[in-house]
Structure 1
Amino acid sequence: MTENAKKIFELVENTDLEILRKQAFNEKDEDKQELLMAMYEYELGRKQKEVINRKEFII
């Protein structure tokens, strides 16, 4: 992974999910909106995995 890609992932991981979601929904440019939604969904999935993998998580 390139250094720039690592920085993007780090930025996404450190951005509040609500901010990403709002930016995506308010973006007028369709391509940018798709990118922001992909970033939001990536981070949402990552956080969900963290919760599921906790020892105290019970279904």
Structure 2
Amino acid sequence: MGDLFTIPQGEKKIAVELTIKEAMALMGQQFPYGSEVKAAAQQKVRQAVERQYEIVSN
């Protein structure tokens, strides 16, 4: 299965600082009373990508 599209500079690295819980949430770990953990981690990753590509979020 090939790539459906190309991402310019797709191999370039970015740094995102996550807590252990946030990293685990992105890996699929479920936390009782902590549904906001995964959302916070996803937001950090999204913001890092937006900064890299200077994307304006809606």
TM class by shorter chain equals: 0.3 to 0.5
| Structure with the largest fraction of helix | 1
Q: TM-score, normalised by structure 2?
A: 0.45
Q: Does 1 or 2 have the higher relative contact order (CA < 8 Å, sep 6+)?
A: 2
